Chain A
């Protein structure tokens, strides 16, 4: 009789299953949070319309706004959830990283209280990327940086630099590195002077629906999708708090031409 435990109960598999169950449970709770809160808003607004309170036109308009805003949030959450679960298709072309960062920045109307400092290397090699997805990923990092500096303002620093890997550098827990000794890459950094990420939450930043933003200001999917996109490019995305305050996002992407 074979007394070996079934494959599914090996420690590794069990741990993986638990991790998957945990991730699924977190995902489900997050969806519930993103949908049930605006749903609650709609139910309570409906109660107010049906209740005894005499309503002025202004009041009625405000309640209608609550209803609309609640419905919009649910719509946004469901679309964001679908986009997270849908496979991303990439079409690679050689691109100039500086132009991608400029294009991403151009999608924002900057507040007067925000200063932008650009420090772009002039001699960057081209990177082989999906232009649309990588631009959106950079824009997502910029959006987080700008939100973190709202409303007080601050400095958004954008920097590009070329890099040649001296050795295979693993990314923390990852089993493998996409970068080997001698690989050429471009590093894009986005730094802000905002409130930073609470240290006890930094391990959660790539999880779908995790957000440190005020309710209704973000579904918490930007970094999840950005990480997914960078992973698809066999690149690296690292987010950390800066010692002087604010957040530093570092995106490393392989050059189109390798030696």
Chain B
């Protein structure tokens, strides 16, 4: 594990109603030494969490109770303060083969199919982090 200074770490917000997934993903990402990670498991609090943490990138689940991923991204992209924030989807509802057929992009947003390994997730985040 090679730690970057905190100021150099990229801020990643994980929004998923599955706390085990966000908890494990957060630990794995933090162990790379490159990311500062925060988790939000309540979709109704997702926008507040984004506004509070101001992440470099949001990893967003699709199927969640109350607000689904599409609802959240719609609200995010209509919020002048937050619409610049990069978002990627992490979902169980598309197959890897479908994603390859679309170059990993659906409706203009990058998707990563579950289950993804930590290495795949980091490569995906690196590819879509704002330069």
Contacts and interface: CB of A to CB of B under 8 A. Distances in A.
A63 B20 CA distance: 10
Interface stretch (A13-21, A32-40, A130-138, A169-177): A32-40
Output the residue of A44, A48, A53, A213 with the most chain B CB within 10 A.
A44
A33 B18 contact: no
Given A69-B20, A70-B20, A42 B66 contact: no
Contacts of B106: none
Nearest to A39: B115
A11 interface: no
A71 to B, nearest CB: 12
Contacts of B19: 215
Interface residues of A, number: 29
A212 to B, nearest CB: 6
A204 B28 CA distance: 36
B70 interface: no
A216 B31 contact: no
A51 B93 contact: no
The DSSP consensus for interface residues of chain A is helix
Given A32-B93, A33-B63, A198-B66, A51 B118 contact: yes
Interface in A39-78: 39-45, 47-48, 51-53, 63, 66, 69-70
Interface in B31-48: 31
A48 B24 contact: yes
A29 interface: yes
A214 B44 CA distance: 13
Contacts of B66: 198
Contacts of A214: 17, 65
Contact of A215 (B1, B18, B28): B18
Given A41-B18, A41-B20, A212-B65, A51 B31 contact: yes
Contacts of B117: 43-44, 47
B17 A215 contact: yes
A215 B122 CA distance: 25
Given A52-B1, A66-B20, A215-B18, A43 B115 contact: yes
Given A29-B93, A36-B115, A215-B17, A44 B63 contact: no
A44 B31 contact: no
A243 to B, nearest CB: 21
Contacts of B129: none
Contact of A44 (B28, B65, B113): B28
B116 A43 contact: yes
A179 B78 CA distance: 51
Interface string B43-67: 0000000000000000000010110
A51 B115 CA distance: 17
A64 to B, nearest CB: 13
A37 B18 contact: yes
Interface of B: 1, 17-21, 24-25, 27-28, 31, 63, 65-66, 92-93, 95, 113-119
13 contacts: A33-B93, A36-B92, A36-B114, A36-B115, A37-B18, A37-B21, A37-B114, A40-B92, A40-B114, A43-B115, A44-B117, A48-B24, A63-B24
The 5 A-B pairs with the shortest beta carbon distances in the complex, nearest first, are: A36-B92, A44-B24, A40-B115, A40-B114, A47-B118
Interface of A: 29, 32-33, 35-37, 39-45, 47-48, 51-53, 63, 66, 69-70, 198, 211-216
